[in-house]
Structure 1
Amino acid sequence: MTRIIQISLFSFLLLCAQLLGSSHAYAQITHVSINQQMFGLGDYPKLRVNIVSGHENFDKMQFIVRQSSGDERLMVKPINNFMLLLTGVDDVLDPSARLIVKEYRINQWQLVKTIALFSDEQIAKGFRVKPEAKRQQIQPKTELKTEQAVSAIKKPAKPASAALLAAKTGQGATSVSLTEDDCVLDYDGKQTLWRIGSQYSKEWEVGTYGAILAIFEANPKAFNKGEIGGLRADSVLLCPSLSLREKYRDSAMAKRIYEQL
C-alpha cells in the first residue's frame, strides 16, 4: 500500500513539473524594457519599448497602462523587429502608473512584466514642463525673430494622419457615403480607439485594424489635428458605412496602412 502511494505521489509531482515546464516553453516574450519615454505626467502615453519576442503578430501581446482611474490598452506600431511604439489617448495622471505587459499562452493572458512609468525625478519634471509650455503658447507672435518666422514659413508641414490616410487610399473628394444614417457607436469618452475597434470588429466582420481605420475615416472631426492617436473624449462617433467597412476588409492591407499613419 505504501509503495502504491509513493508511486502515485511521484507521478503527480512529475505531471506538475511537466506542466510548469510547458508554461515556460510556450512563453514567447523573452525581454521587454522601456527604450524612450516620450510623455510626462498629465500627458497621454507615448513610449518606445525594446522587445524580444517570438510572436509574429501583436494579437498575442498586450501593453496596458494601469493607473488609479483604470486600465487603458495601448495601440502598437512596430518601429523595427526589436522596437515598438506604444500610444494611448487617456492622460496619465497617476504618479504610480505602471506599464503592464501580457502575452496570450495556454489559452489565457499571462502577465510578463510590470514596469513603473515614473521615477521621482520624472514626476517633478512633468509638473514643471506644463506651465512653461503654456507661457510659450500665449507669447505674442510679434516676439518671434525674423529668421525664426522665415524658417517656420519655409519648413514643410508634416501631413496629419487623416490627410495621409486619404492619400494612401486614394480618397480625395468622393461621393461615397462614409457614415450610416441615424447610427452612433457606443462611446462615452473613456474607451481607446483600439478598444472600440476590437468591440465592433466581430460585428462588422473585419479585423481590428480595419475597424479602427473605418471609424477614423468616418469621423475626421473626432480626432485632434487629424491624428489617429488623438481621439477626443467629447466626440460622438458615427457608424462607418458598409462600403467604408468593406474598404478595409483585407486585414493585412489595413494593418499596413495603419502602421504608416
Structure 2
Amino acid sequence: MKSQVNLLSSIIVAVVMLFNNCWADTSHVSINQRLFDLGKIPLLKLNIVSDATDTDRFQFILQQQAGAERLMVDRINDFMYLLQGVDEVTDPKAQLLVKEYRQQVWVEVATLPLFADGVPVGNPPAGKKLSLYRDVNGSDATTEVIATPKVNTTTAVKSAAAEAAIQSASAKAKLPELQQRCLLEYDGKQTLWRLASRYAKEWHTNIYAAALGILEANPQAFYQGNPASLRSDAKLRCPSESILAQYADKTVAEKKFDALL
C-alpha cells in the first residue's frame, strides 16, 4: 500500500512539473532600448528570456490609439530581438503587446508601455537613417539676409512654371528607362517583407503596396508566384509608379497580399 502511495505521489509531481514547463516557456520580457521618438516609426530592442528559439513562436504588436501594427523581428542574439515597424507612433500611451504560441493558442505574456519614464532610449544602429527614428535638431547657423534686385514678379512666376513643366515632362519621359535600370539592393538573404519595409518609406507608400509592387515587377523571382519563395539569385527591378498606385489603399493591398500567402 505504501509503495502505491509513493508511486502515485511521484506521478502527481511529474505531472505538475510537466504542466509548469508547458506554461513557463518565457520567464522575462523587457525593453532594452527604445530607438525612436514620439511621431517617428517604431524601432526598439527587446530583452527576452525564453525556452522558445523560433521567432515565429512570438507576435510583437504595437498598440496605439490610431490602431495596431504587428512589428517585424530580427534576432540579435539568444536574449535580444530588434523590432521595427512602418507606421508612425503618435500616441504617448502606446504599448507593446507580446504574445507567445503555446498549446495551439496565442497567449499574452507581456504588455510594455513604450514611453514610460524608466524606458532606456538610444539611437538606431549604424546603417539606419537617424531622422526616420529620432528628432534631429535643426542647424544653429544663422542666415544672412542679402538684398536682392527687384524683378518683375509676373514674368518670374511664368518662367518658373514653364521651367517646372519642362522638367516634369522630361522626368516622365525618362521614367520607363530609369525603372528598367533601377535595381533593388538585395543580397539574397532578405525576405520580401523585409525589402518592402525598407522601400515603403522611400516610395512614399504602405508596406503592402511595396511588397505587391516588388512581386509584380519581378514575377520570375518568386517560385510559383509565392511571396515567401523569393529566389536568392534574383535581380530585382524597382516597381513602376503605376503599379504602386494600384495599391495606395492599404486595406485593399493588405487583403490582396494575404490572399497570396
What TM-score results when the alignment is normalised by the length of structure 1? 0.49
- The structure that has the greater radius of gyration is 2
What TM-score results when the alignment is normalised by the length of structure 2? 0.49
